[in-house]
Amino acid sequence: MREISEFERDIRMLEAELRKLERDYNMFFAGRLPKPPWDERKRVELLVRKYDRAPLTSFAERFRFQTLQSRYAAFVDLWDRGLRAKEEGRPGPFLKPARPEKGAGDGAKPADRVVHVATVADPIKESGRSRSFTSASSTPGARRVKRRSRSTGSCSSCGRRC
């Protein structure tokens, strides 16, 4: 049986500690832990620093370590932003803002949204078309609107310039 090198043992331990640290931070932000897991974070940081300064001979070892190092750095950034937001009393990356109730009647009408955007080349010449478009789009039964192709200038439904 093959003996495991010190690097392999430390990398496996780093992977396990990183998973445990992620779980502990998730529990902290969910309110299940009273304080952040500073001790575990310090342990992981020491392992990362140890191999960050050591020369790694194999490309596979370097790749594996750098993957874990970048994952740890991304987590540290996320956790720090979450802690800062929690201290400031605002929702952070772990707390999503509450969604308003659907039946609450917040005053927003369904008609206050963009349904269609049309381009007009010459508003003076095409003023009749724009009026017919707005009257057709405001009626509930209107479904089809003639659109002109930008490249040929012809209508999509009849092929002529209308």
Annotated domain spans of the chain:
6-88
With contact defined as beta carbons under 8 Å apart, do 10 and 47 qualify?
Answer: yes
pLDDT digits (tens, 9 = 90+) for 51-80: 888 888 889 989 999 999 999 999 999 999
Q: How far apart are CA 155 and CA 141, in angstroms?
A: 21
Half-sphere exposure of residue 118, counting CA atoms within 13 Å on the CB side? Answer: 17
Q: Which pLDDT score, from 0 to 100, does residue 34 have? A: 92
What pTM was computed for the model?
0.57
122 pLDDT band, cuts 50/70/90, is confident
158 pLDDT band, cuts 50/70/90, is low
With contact defined as beta carbons under 8 Å apart, do 138 and 144 qualify?
Answer: no
